[in-house]
């Protein structure tokens, strides 16, 4: 029996192709059943996220079946072969462990993928689509992901501007954002992303101020917050704890005196200002005021780069964990007399025969 993974991801495939294959969480089991029945698979787990669609399977022989497996998911005849990668045995194991541990993600070390892998596995297990091999493989993948989280720093340190804003806010407010009021000035995409991150972490109220009051009202409704007329945003500083400014204005929107004038009404409550506009919206001189913390886009991106560099330095430790886990599982699932994964000399995988040459270039590029 051969363990394999066949798939495509953001590394090999543009979003307009990935979206053709995207499978809703509620349909993973149904699609997995169809793949198992029509693909001659003894075991199967289907993983589908915004960045990848992968089929993990066990089969006596694929017989050039990969392209057809992916067409089963779409019900069409689109040629996915230029984008597909296929890995077997040890490589398939190592790939899954890297995926589950967040090492193959757009954001190195992100944690959401671990939950997505777990959900895909439990959905397949519930429908009895897994057996002795994939049960061991996926359980070990989740154990490896946990070990990576606890024994390395690969997931520490925010790696997006929005998540850095949250990280800084939690430092300033002693990790408790539950009673904080967030105000967004302007309606830039990055500003909205920052506010979304803050709202997810429990910020109590969101105020939205924009030159277009209708736009402010629509965005406030989305956050369950309140719209503020643009000419009233300075007075509203007295209410806010966190201000994210992203107006696109060619001139400074908040002057030092604007901020200083509301400090008495704030009664020494800290004020955290995030200026992600270029040109800057907030006068840098506000940093001279007591209990006022200002970060601009360069400050945030410098933290992102430093955190990303720190994560990359943890890769070797993560890869050592994966190598050890892979070797242990291979020893369990591969009969010594038929260890084609170890020797690479017993047979040539028929899967590869159906793949476009570009796939092998892609695999080499991203190995």
Task: Report d(CA 142, CA 101) in Å as an integer.
Answer: 8
Cα gap 15→166, rounded to integer Å: 28
5 contacts: CB under 8 Å, gap ≥ 6: 54, 55, 56, 57, 86, 87, 92, 95, 96
Letter string b/e over residues 59-81, b meaning 16 or more CB atoms within 10 A of that residue's CB? beebeebbbebbebbeeeeeebb
Which of 30, 31, 33, 50 is catalytic? The answer is 50
Element (H, E) at 165: helix 161-172
Nearest CA among 266, 272, 265 for reference residue 292: 272
Q: Any idea which residue has 């019900």 for tokens?
A: 75
Rounded to the nearest 10°, the torsion over CA 234, 236, 240, 243 is -40
What is the rounded radius of gyration, in angstroms, for the C-alpha atoms of the chain?
25
Give the bridge partners for 111, in sequence order.
Answer: none
51 DSSP assignment? S
Closest CA to 78 of 67, 86, 87: 67
The answer to whether 50 is a known catalytic residue is yes
In the DSSP assignment, the letter for residue 254 is B
Look up residue 41 and give its two tokens: 């698979």
Q: Catalogue the active-site residues.
A: 50
């Amino acid at each position: 029996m051969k363990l394999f993974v066949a798939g495509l991801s953001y590394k090999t495939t543009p979003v307009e192709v990935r979206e053709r294959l995207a499978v809703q969480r509620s349909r993973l089991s149904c699609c997995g059943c169809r793949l198992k029945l029509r693909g001659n698979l003894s075991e199967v787990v289907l993983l589908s996220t915004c960045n990848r669609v992968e089929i993990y399977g066990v089969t006596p022989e694929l017989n050039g079946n990969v392209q057809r497996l992916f067409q089963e998911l779409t019900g069409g005849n689109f040629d996915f072969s230029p984008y597909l990668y296929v890995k077997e045995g040890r490589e398939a194991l190592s790939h899954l462990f890297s995926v589950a541990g967040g090492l193959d993600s757009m954001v190195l070390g992100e944690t959401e993928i671990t939950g997505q892998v777990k959900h895909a596995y439990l959905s397949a297990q519930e429908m009895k689509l897994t057996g002795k091999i994939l049960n061991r493989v996926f359980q070990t993948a989740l154990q490896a992901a946990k070990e990576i989280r606890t024994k390395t720093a690969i997931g520490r340190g925010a790696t997006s501007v929005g998540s850095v804003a949250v990280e800084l806010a939690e430092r300033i407010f002693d990790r408790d954002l539950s009673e904080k009021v967030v105000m967004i000035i302007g309606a830039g995409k990055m500003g909205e992303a920052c506010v979304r991150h803050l709202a997810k972490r429990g910020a109590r109220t969101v105020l939205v101020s924009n030159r277009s009051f209708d736009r402010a009202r629509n965005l406030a409704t989305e956050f369950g917050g309140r719209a503020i007329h643009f000419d009233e945003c300075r007075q509203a500083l007295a209410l806010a704890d966190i201000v994210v400014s992203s107006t696109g204005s060619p001139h400074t929107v908040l002057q030092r005196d604007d901020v200083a004038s509301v400090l008495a009404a704030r009664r020494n409550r800290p004020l955290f200002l995030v200026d992600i506009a270029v040109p800057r919206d907030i006068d840098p001189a506000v940093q001279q005021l007591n209990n006022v913390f200002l970060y601009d886009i360069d400050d945030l991106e410098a933290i992102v780069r430093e955190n990303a560099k720190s994560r990359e330095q943890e890769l070797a430790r993560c890869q050592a964990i994966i190598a050890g886990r892979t070797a242990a599982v291979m020893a369990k699932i591969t009969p010594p007399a038929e260890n084609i994964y170890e020797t690479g000399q017993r047979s040539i995988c028929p899967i590869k025969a159906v793949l476009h040459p570009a796939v092998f270039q892609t695999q080499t590029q991203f190995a």
